[in-house]
Amino acid sequence: EAQVTQNPRYLITVTGKKLTVTCSQNMNHEYMSWYRQDPGLGLRQIYYSMNVEVTDKGDVPEGYKVSRKEKRNFPLILESPSPNQTSLYFCASSLFWQEGTQYFGPGTRLLVL
């Protein structure tokens, strides 16, 4: 089954404790992306990647890191989480930039205390 998977689905952590949210897709997509969703703000792009070893900042990259060492994986790293990073996070992927249609993972709910 074609899908984007994220882990964990739910996470409660404390300020300053490094964490990684994994994202993996099995559709051989070039384009992968991370978003955060906050009430009243819609989805905002954090980072995106056009292909392996190519990453770019989105609208809200501060406090986040990403890497794209393999085509299928695009982990999101919070080196020192803060309460304002409490949010719902989505990973997404698409085949070619021309197609554009993104497929989303199920989301990760993060609470930073």
Partner 1 sequence: AQKITQTQPGMFVQEKEAVTLDCTYDTSDQSYGLFWYKQPSSGEMIFLIYQGSYDEQNATEGRYSLNFQKARKSANLVISASQLGDSAMYFCAMREVNTGNQFYFGTGTSLTVIP
Residue 19 near residue 7, CB atoms below 8 Å: no
90 binds partner 1 (CB under 8 A): yes
Nearer residue to partner 1 within complex by CB, 56 or 79? 56
Strand pairing category for 108-112 and 10-13: parallel
Query: With CB under 8 A, what is the number of residues at the site for partner 1?
Result: 26
* Site for partner 1, residues 2 to 21, rule: CB under 8 A: none
Nearer residue to partner 1 within complex by CB, 36 or 85? 36
Binds partner 1 (CB under 8 A): choice among 7, 19, 44, 77: 44
DSSP structure class, residue 85: G
DSSP structure class, residue 9: S
Tokens representing 38 are 């906050």
Whole-angstrom distance, CA of residue 41 vs CA of residue 70: 31
- Interface residue list for partner 1 (CB under 8 A): 31, 33, 35, 40-45, 48, 50, 56, 58-59, 88, 90, 92, 97-98, 100-104, 106-107
